[in-house]
Structure 1
């Protein structure tokens, strides 16, 4: 179960389970070995595999090369989106349990979900055992979905309904990649950038990434329920940086939330980039958050990153 584009608590934490996605051999504590580091933007391996000396190859005078080595992405609303909307999916499954679908009830469910999701606490849990984490994630979502239908009208066999709709989002069937996602990720990898995800999504994200065919394009995935911190808290960003053994100014984070992604990244020392796929998002203003570099599609990202020096 996931938020609509631009509304998911999307983040990650701590020790990763066996299903944690890696594209290179794993070093102790989840760090990328120095020998696997690349010269960002060139696709070349660093000749010495260490931080001694220059991090970039010699280049002609006047040629500017971005110092960005790692690009982090939010998940839902940035790389992929719910097929239809969360509200439409909830209602479609609820109809089988006697819920009456009308234009009014659909609108009510959509609004109730926005409120319930916004009011939910961060998906951070005081457990470390993988099975306990999954149970906490399930209960976290149960409270949200129950809150939705408590507001708009409860029905019998709600527990059965919840199990069905919860598992419906545990895979690619309810999700769609944005048209440019696959191509841009491959282009960035070919240019030598390390790629990671920082999301408040739960552990179902691993199945979603595999099902959508983009799992192998990411070197690391950091989610809030495993990291014991959720965006916009700096801790989840710092953990992701540690996995790549880079400084904050060598990384950028791209996401669709001005607060969680842009300001959260900034507080951890990274450059934050807002992706405003909807016209309304590009006009969002928060007087407490400074204006952010903004793109409307991931196709604009390579050129923007190249200007970060």
Structure 2
């Protein structure tokens, strides 16, 4: 019997693709990104973020990492002349929920799972901003524990971050399900003995669920 549901955040509870949070900012400024370079730009930006995020254990340390992430992304999209201004704006407005668009169905699913009595947790490769981000978008009250990799000192796919969350929630591995979008989510959960559920909000992976509301039928 399942007693707990764990969630990744980026591209699971919050949509990370630039078209959902960056494109509106560019439109306001009359700017057009070079989308032919989008995949490479995203890969380069995340490579830099992943290299540094475990060191970013506080907002003060995390914001410079995000500024670099945003500059790399904007430069990769051919917007180097605007990279400093926009990255500064995003850093100053990191608690604005418009910067972190919630995945459709997320609030509905979390509300229903709470009603059903599940313990809810986050297991996410994220820096020290994560608790504040969840507060900003209104999701923090749903969770009994938030395991951010930078704050735990270990990142997925290492199963240890799952074990931390399970211990804090007071549940055994076989009593938990983890929903996430990446191979690291699946590998880490399985290594910890947690049942993984692969999610793809962009409907590109036929093996994944594409609507978070499907979680309610799977737990």
1:116 to 45, 48, 55: 45
CA deviation after TM superposition for structure 1 residue 84, in Å: 3.5
Decide whether the 8 Å contact of 1:113 with 1:145 is kept in 2: no
Q: Does 1:302 align with 2:219?
A: no
Tell me the residue number matched to 2:172. Answer: 247
Aligned pairs for 1:70-109 (under 5 A) are 70-82=4-16, 84-85=19-20, 87-88=22-23, 91=26, 95=29, 101-102=31-32, 105-108=34-37
Q: Secondary structure at the match of 2:206?
A: helix
Distance 1:209 1:227 in 2: 17
Distance 1:78 1:149 in 2: 23
Structure 1 residues 142 and 295, CA gap change in structure 2 (3 angstroms): same
Structure 1 residues 303 and 145, CA gap change in structure 2 (3 angstroms): closer
Distance 1:87 1:157 in 2: 12
Q: Secondary structure at the match of 1:117?
A: helix
Distance 2:122 2:22 in 1: 25
Larger gyration radius, structure 1 or structure 2:
1
Q: Secondary structure at the match of 1:302?
A: helix
CA deviation after TM superposition for structure 1 residue 226, in Å: 0.7
Tell me the residue number matched to 1:155. Answer: 81
CA deviation after TM superposition for structure 1 residue 87, in Å: 4.8
CA deviation after TM superposition for structure 1 residue 176, in Å: 2.9
- Deviation track 1:161-206 (CA, whole Å, cap 9, x = no partner) reads 4221223333312233333222221211111110011112333333
CA deviation after TM superposition for structure 1 residue 242, in Å: 1.5
Tell me the residue number matched to 1:222. Answer: 147
Q: 1 or 2, which has the higher helix percentage?
A: 2
Distance 2:163 2:24 in 1: 35
Decide whether the 8 Å contact of 2:109 with 2:213 is kept in 1: yes
Tell me the residue number matched to 1:31. Answer: none
Decide whether the 8 Å contact of 1:87 with 1:109 is kept in 2: no
Q: Secondary structure at the match of 1:232?
A: coil
Structure 1 residues 210 and 143, CA gap change in structure 2 (3 angstroms): closer
CA deviation after TM superposition for structure 1 residue 228, in Å: 0.9
Unaligned regions of 5+ residues in structure 2, if any?
none
CA deviation after TM superposition for structure 1 residue 274, in Å: 0.4
Unaligned regions of 5+ residues in structure 1, if any?
1-66, 284-293
Decide whether the 8 Å contact of 2:180 with 2:198 is kept in 1: yes
Instruction: State how many pairs are aligned.
Output: 216
RMSD: 2.8
Distance 1:114 1:89 in 2: 21
Decide whether the 8 Å contact of 2:6 with 2:123 is kept in 1: yes
Distance 1:244 1:71 in 2: 10
Distance 1:116 1:73 in 2: 23
CA deviation after TM superposition for structure 1 residue 110, in Å: 5.9
